[in-house]
Amino acid sequence: MESDGLVLWTDGSRKDDEWAGCAVVWKERGFWKKRRVHLGRQKEAFDMEMYAMSEVMKIADEMAVKKVDRRVTVFTDCQATLSRIQSDEPVPGQVLALRRMN
């Protein structure tokens, strides 16, 4: 059963050689879409998860501009990211957490 609205899945990872990146996938008009971001080295997995969440917000904003007014559901495997985006306290990841509001 298809869910109503825009449904996105996120993941961020860091390899043993320190290369890091994230991805967001979603289905639009029956076709799978993806956005991948390679973020170089010397970042932590949490940074990648936060970056993926900020990409989700950008995608949702882009859909709103297209007048695709829908409910947005996000699936992520990072509980810390969900906790982090609920606050603007000055802790690690603040820049990416605040990016969701711009």
Which residue is it, tokens 């320190």?
18
In eight-state DSSP terms, residue 44 is -
Can you name the CATH fold of 6-99?
Nucleotidyltransferase; domain 5 (3.30.420)
Tokens of 101: 């509001």
Task: Give rounded-to-5 percent helix, strand, coil for the chain.
Answer: 30, 30, 40
Tokens of 66: 């297209």
CB atoms within 10 A of CB 15: 10
- pLDDT per residue over 26-66, tens digit each? 998 889 999 999 888 877 777 888 889 889 889 988 887 77
Could you tell me the residue ranges of all domains in the chain? 6-99
**Predicted model pTM:** 0.73
